Amino acid sequence: MFSTRDRWGFDWREFFTGVLFIIAGIFMFMHPGAGLVTMALLFAVVAIMRGITVLAAFSKMRQYLPRMSWLYALSGVFDVILGLLFLFNVPAGVVGITVLFAVWFLVDAITNLLTVGHLRQIGTLWFVLSLILDIVMILVAVLLIMQPVVAAISFASIVAIYLVLFGINALVIAFARGN
């Protein structure tokens, strides 16, 4: 199967990722309102910081891309406006976060599904368990995208479930690689 050089060994990074995701999921279950508002405000601050960074680099970018630098500036302005909107209109921020998380969940779940094959060499049980969790994560992500209003209302619970599932899957992968 694996030579000693190809052996993964216990994956501590994946393990800690799993633990952190499970803790985040439990926090979201216990404090759904605070979790959503915190995420929306955090996203607002990050978007504003990104926009300011882009705008600050605009003159330098204009030297490298004289005709296309306006796209860079437009992106910075968009980031600042979006950040300010989310900062001063928290409900809009929560809805925006709902859409962003749905896309993130879907991309991560599809990536996990497409790369789960490496666990088959480690053991069928690990492969099947991770495969099932990946499929469940895709279904949750699709539900978030298909029902944005329902997703916004029940977002905290759905995010908490997803975070716990993602965390469990990361732990499964960490232990599987250790075998």
> Each residue of 82-114: pLDDT tens digit?
899 989 998 888 778 778 778 877 888 898 888
Cβ count within 10 A of residue 72: 18
Determine, yes or no, domain membership for 31.
yes
94, 155 contact by CB (below 8 A):
yes
Determine, yes or no, domain membership for 104.
yes
Determine, yes or no, domain membership for 92.
yes
Give the pLDDT confidence of 23-70 residue by residue, as tens digits: 988 988 888 878 778 878 888 898 899 899 989 888 887 887 788 888
What is the reported pLDDT for 68?
80
Determine, yes or no, domain membership for 121.
yes
Determine, yes or no, domain membership for 53.
yes
Cβ count within 10 A of residue 148: 14
Contact partners, residue 103, CB within 8 Å, separation at least 6: 145
**What is the band of 158 on the pLDDT scale with cuts at 50, 70, 90?**
confident
Tally of domains in the chain: 1
**What is the band of 143 on the pLDDT scale with cuts at 50, 70, 90?**
confident
What is the reported pLDDT for 2?
46
What is the reported pLDDT for 3?
47
Determine, yes or no, domain membership for 70.
yes
Determine, yes or no, domain membership for 6.
no
Contact partners, residue 97, CB within 8 Å, separation at least 6: 36, 39, 40, 43, 86, 155
pTM above 0.75, yes or no: no
Determine, yes or no, domain membership for 3.
no
What is the reported pLDDT for 72?
83
Residue-number span of the structural domain to which 174 is assigned: 12-178
- CA–CA dist 174, 133 (Å, integer): 14
